[in-house]
Amino acid sequence: MTGVRVAGVGLTHFGRHPERTGRDLFGEAALAAREESGVDPEDIESINYGNFMGSLAERQGHQAPLMAEMAGLQCPATRYEEACASAGVAIREAVRAVRSGEADVMLAGGCERMTNLSTADVTEGLATAADELYEIRAGMTFPGAYALMARAYFESFGGEREDLAHVAVKNHDNALPNEYAQFHRAITVDEVLDAPMVSDPVGLLDACPVTDGASALVLVSDEYAEANGLDAPVSITGSGQGGDNLALHDREHLAVTPATERAAAEAYDDAGCAADDVDLVEVHDCFTIAEVLAIEGLGFYDHGEGIGAARRGETTATGDLPVNLSGGLKAKGHPVGATGGSQIAEMTRLLRGDHPNSDHVEDATVGVTHNAGGTVASAVVHVLEVDR
């Protein structure tokens, strides 16, 4: 079984792009990844493309061959949909294809365009990732769902809104130098606590923004990289996927995420490492409580201990385990179908040393990315390692 290397990454700026289409955005990211990789476009054998809301937001189905065209390629292309984990799954399947020997070169990533819709329409579209029969019909939206998860956490393990505010402050600080981030504004704990309440205890500054953007990666086998003299020091050495019941009322505990735990266990086993070996992490912080659930589900903290990590400085840029040096979904932005690819692209840049926050982790060798769908009914975890 061959290893898988990240030969090139491409990102658009994450933010509001009302004048651009999804196809335009993905084309930019894919062409950037192609150029950075140095791979002959005729060698790219297939495209795995993640997208969640394209049929609603742009009334465009059958997007995969369209995105291949925008990437300047004429090869098979497949769209993957797993809500907010769409790109993570698309990349996981690309990794599996390269490892198995089915392909030597794959392009994988994703895109989402949402800011062309009203806030109400975006909320309604995103809500389709929840259980239609038992949650959507009752008026459940994701701020409400994560508010329930936060309340369950506080009741089971303790913690308070100020702990979550430190997560938001940290991630905004991390986004400041990131040229691809939606927000370049520092915030304070008081600003988070004083922001309008969306669904108690989730306030406006506890939530990620509505975002447009795209991400792309060129993945190659070890043999292809060596034969073609590619400079690709970062490898994806572990991949795992986990699932859970879709509706919250069908779960044993609202403040524990078994999908993340299962995905992490598989990814660590695949890579031959453990949580203690990890130097930095990019997690799916669609809401501040989601970061807490993620770092516990990934095994970095026991249940109930992750809530104070940012407040104690442990997960800041200068802490023992930097989390979301990109700014995370909270400050970099969350173009749903692109997020999983963005996390791996950012982790690649951080490990290679060409990210604006790489100075904080210059000796790092192992990074983990965590991409979740909905209220973590789906989770995809990847382990990345760099040659030093």
Residues that are catalytic: 84, 334
Concatenated DSSP letters of 37-68: HT--GGG--EEEEE-SSHHHHS----HHHHHH
> What tokens were used for 367?
């990074």
11's enclosing H/E stretch is strand 4-11
The region, left, alpha or beta by phi > 0 then psi within -120 to 50, assigned to residue 299 is: left
Q: Which residues contact 217 (CB under 8 A, 6 or more apart)?
A: 6, 8, 9, 10, 33, 91, 94, 107, 108, 109, 341, 344, 345, 348
Q: Which amino acid, one-letter code, is at 307?
A: I
Q: How far apart are the first and last CA of the chain?
A: 23
Is there a contact between 113 and 26 (Cβ–Cβ < 8 Å)?
no
The residue written with tokens 């130098």 in the block is: 177
What's the rounded Cα separation, in Å, for the pair 287 and 142? Answer: 9
Q: Provide the 8-state DSSP code for 178.
A: -
